[in-house]
Amino acid sequence: MNGLLKKFQGKRLLIVGDFLVSRFVEVSARKLAREAPVPAGDYVGETLLPGGAANLANELASLGGSVSVIGAVGEDNYGVWLKEDLARNGVGTDGIVVDKLRPSSLRTWIMVNRLHYLRIDQEVRKEVPLTITKAFASSAESKIPGVDTVVFSDYDRGVITSSLISSVVASARKAGKIVVAQPKDRHYMDYNGVTYVKSNLGEATHATQMAMVNETSLRNMGVNLMGRLDCKGIVITRGEEGMTVFDREQITSFPLPFGRKSFFNKVGVRDVMTGVFSLAVAAGGSITEAACLSNIAGTVRSEKPRTSTLTIQDLEKRLDSMGDFLNKVSQMPVRR
């Protein structure tokens, strides 16, 4: 798979999705407050980081992709900062619309003595106006012929609508492009006609209303989703149980490549896994190769500081230490 990594360089990706800004406020606790049983402390400082589709874009750029984005920010300082941060990392931002009627989505993380104490969200989650959706669709239609892969980064913050999905998928299919969807609950079943879907078990369970009881129920869930979404493959991440990949011929189960980790759901892991998967299929990899690299990338990213991004060198180094991991991968036919 090292050969596949070398093909990441210069692959062109268009990301359509929800932009978030993550603001980390650091506090050094001194004592318990008199007025309530909560910490009282001194302000240390704060850090802004891109979140959602913006984080995905930066991760892809760090891995060698040529990235452009479509989405919305508010007419505020956070929106200005986010556009500048993306541009600094070489991401094309001309598809970003400034929505004057809603603020940029802001998540404020309160970190007390470096431990996550509280998160406060400031955002509007309703869908953007139809005029903005049409602007997104027009921008996507003009950009899609020049990219290798389109990626939906859906965080249920209002950019992704049913009509936008159908318009972008139609344009991508007409141009013969790969489409990767990272859906959330609201529009999961609207991603009909995409090439690949990557989601977690909870989202897949909600979409199908099928409980995960055993491996047979998981198989039925994946087959159900592939049929209803008319896609080539589904990747379902399962936390500490690794991931399961469905294509039209077989079901492949990947364990976590380096054992269970209590911090596997660290901020940014979901985005980097989607990014590596998308780059791998853009570079000509199969769904199983892409899923394997995505699985490795998730573990490596969870070990890095939140202010850093993943690099090709990080993945190459970890691949060299894989040992007999591929012997632990199990496969079975879809139809038995």
Residue 136: inside a domain: yes
Residue 110: inside a domain: no
> Which of 107, 104, 24, 106 is CA-nearest to residue 71?
104
Other beta carbons within 10 angstroms of residue 25's beta carbon come to 17
Residue 42: inside a domain: no
Label the pairing between strands 115-122 and 243-247. unpaired
Q: In this model, does residue 265 exceed pLDDT 80?
A: no
Q: Please give the residue range of the domain that contains residue 90.
A: 2-19+52-104+124-333
Residue 140: inside a domain: yes
Query: Considering its fold, how many domains does the chain have in total?
Result: 1
pLDDT of residue 334: 67
**What is the tens place of the pLDDT at every residue in 275-326?**
999 999 999 999 999 999 998 898 888 888 888 889 999 999 888 876 666 5
Residue type, 74: G
DSSP 118-132: EEEEE---SPPPHHH
Report helix, strand or coil for 112.
strand
Q: Give the chain's length.
A: 336
Residue 275: inside a domain: yes
- pTM beyond 0.85: the answer is yes
Instruction: Kindly report the CATH number assigned to the domain that includes residue 58.
Output: 3.40.1190.20
Report helix, strand or coil for 146.
helix
Give, as one character, the DSSP assignment of residue 231: -
Residue 282: inside a domain: yes
> Which of 284, 290, 208 is CA-nearest to residue 252?
290
Residue 116: inside a domain: no
Q: In this model, does residue 137 exceed pLDDT 60?
A: yes
**What is the tens place of the pLDDT at every residue in 47-102?**
999 999 999 999 999 999 999 999 999 999 999 999 999 999 999 999 999 999 99
Residue 231: inside a domain: yes
